[in-house]
Amino acid sequence: MLNVLIAYLRQLRRLTKLNVCVPLISTGEIFNKAADLAIRYNDVSAVLTGKGEPTLYPEQITDYCYSLRSRGFPIIDLQTNGTLFLGPLYQNEEHLAQWFGTGE
C-alpha cells in the first residue's frame, strides 16, 4: 500500500508543476505523507522499491527504514536485485546491518 501512495503522490507532484500556484512536494515530503496515510489506514507493511535500483541510495534507504520503524510499521521489505551488494559500496556491510536491524 505504501508504494501505491508514494506513486500517487509523485503523480500529483508532476501535475502540480503545471500550476505555479500549487507548491512542489519534495521526495521527503512525499515519503512522509505516504507513510502517514498508510499508518492512518492501518497498513502493516512497507516495501521500499523504485524505478531502477533502490540500493544506489543507501543513506536514503537507511533514513526510510528508521522513519518507517519509528512510525510503527512491523514489516519493512526492500525490493532489490542485490547485484550492488557485491560491489565496493557495500564492502563493509554497514548499511545491510542497519537495514536488517530496522526491518526485522
pLDDT in tens, 61-95: 888 889 889 988 888 888 888 888 888 878 778 88
| pLDDT of 18 above 60 | no
Residue identified by cell 523504485 is 50
| Alpha helices (H) in the chain, listed in sequence order | 2-16, 27-40, 58-70, 94-102
Q: Is the pLDDT of residue 31 over 70?
A: yes
In single-letter form, the type of residue at position 93 comes to E
pLDDT, residue 21, reads 38
pLDDT for 22: 37
* pLDDT for residue 29: 79
Rounded to whole angstroms, the Cα distance separating 100 from 104 reads: 6
Number of domains observed in the structure of the chain: 1
Provide the domain limits for residue 19: 2-102
Q: Which secondary structure element, helix H or strand E, spans residue 48, and what is its range?
A: strand 45-48
The stretch 43-71 carries a mean pLDDT of: 84
Question: Sign (positive/negative) of CA torsion 74, 37, 46, 53?
Answer: negative
- Rounded to the nearest 10 degrees, what angle do helices 58-70 and 27-40 cross at? 30
The DSSP element (H or E) to which 78 belongs, if any, is strand 75-78
Distance in angstroms (rounded) separating the CA atoms of residues 73 and 38:
9
| 25 or 99: which leads in pLDDT | 99
